[in-house]
Amino acid sequence: MSQAAGTGPGPGSVADTLSVSCVIITMGTRPDELTRAIESTEPLRADGVELVLVGNGAELPPVPGDVKTVLLPENLGVAGGRNAGVEASSGDLVMFLDDDGWFSDPGIAKHVAGRFAADPRLAVLAFRVVDPTGGTGVRWHVPRLRAGDPDRSSPVTTFVGAGFAARRSAYREAGGLPELFFFAHEETDLAWQLIERGYTLEYDADARMCHPPVSNKRHDIWYRYDGRNRVLLARRNLPWPLAFVYLLDWTALTIVRERRLPGALKTWFAGFAEGWRTDPGQRRPISMRAVWRMTRAGRPPVI
């Protein structure tokens, strides 16, 4: 596996082989699941994959000697934890794994390296997240509008943080995940900036990993961060006319979806208002060329 080069998607920027790192972040609340995740990387590490374990404001358990560890003094959220893992890693490619997920395919790193080596414009490869209970999984694990067929690979305009791989140079070029978001929609912020820079994103149904079929809504903070980060996402990345359409669309969708949960709607709208009061950081509106590329991929940045 290893070595690649160039920071942009231009021709000739990729060598024959690519080195791979894997990043797992944990908040120390799922020790048994974390052990399973680490054990699932053993065949990958035997094949040269570097494993980086990030303690996101949490102490780490004893780990094998070949595992690199990073201790963060406080919980920086999934965005901050993954960024710290990328900075500590040395691979040309970085695979990400939640501490309650695991790799079922010992050849996944080779498959991923081959996909990136074949396409220097590829920045993100979203994995097929398999329900370990044998069910169909949850729709949001398939990052496209037509999510009914998870076994179909396709170009995408966002990805799910539960399982994906990124070209490290492109990830850093686009600024990484926005740590301000903490949790929710940080992947879309990065995805839009990658597309703006001419990179592509793919959902690969052959790159499989396992993750319990759980919803983000199980977290108490979900509705607040969903509302807040929708606003921050639009303010940071979209031309103003598109930003207003995007926010209008998602407000209407949220009302329809959550109309039977008045407490959830109240929290969501409080987060929505918070998004307007919060400093979004650097504004980097994407171009209409990027908008057109997303539209051709099946998801314009208004839905």
* Predicted confidence (pLDDT) per residue in 265-300, tens digit: 999 999 999 999 999 999 999 999 999 999 999 899
Residue 52 vs residues 36, 198, 251, 272: alpha-carbon distances, Å: 15, 29, 38, 35
Number of domains making up the chain: 2
Q: For residue 85, give the amino acid letter.
A: G
Instruction: Choose between 132 and 66: higher pLDDT.
Output: 66
Determine the pLDDT at residue 219.
Answer: 60
Residues 6 or more apart in contact with residue 243 via CB below 8 angstroms: 234, 235
111 and 247 together in one domain: no
Q: How many residues does the chain have?
A: 303
Q: Give this prediction's pTM.
A: 0.92
The domain boundary, picked from 214, 248, 281, lies at 214
**The two structure tokens encoding residue 154:** 């396709």
Burial degree of 81 (CB within 10 A; 0-12, 13-18, 19+): buried
224 and 76 together in one domain: no
Helix (H) or strand (E) holding 94: strand 93-98
Residue 175 lies in a domain: yes
In the chain, the N- to C-terminal Cα span, in Å, equals 38
Instruction: Choose between 133 and 123: higher pLDDT.
Output: 123
148 and 242 together in one domain: no
Q: For 129-147, what is the mean pLDDT?
A: 83
| DSSP letters for 195-214 | HHTT-EEEEEEEEEEE----
188 and 262 together in one domain: no
The sign of the dihedral angle between the CA atoms of 110, 155, 26, 137 is negative
Determine the pLDDT at residue 8.
Answer: 42
Tell whether the model's pLDDT for residue 16 goes beyond 60: no
Domain that holds residue 274: 220-296
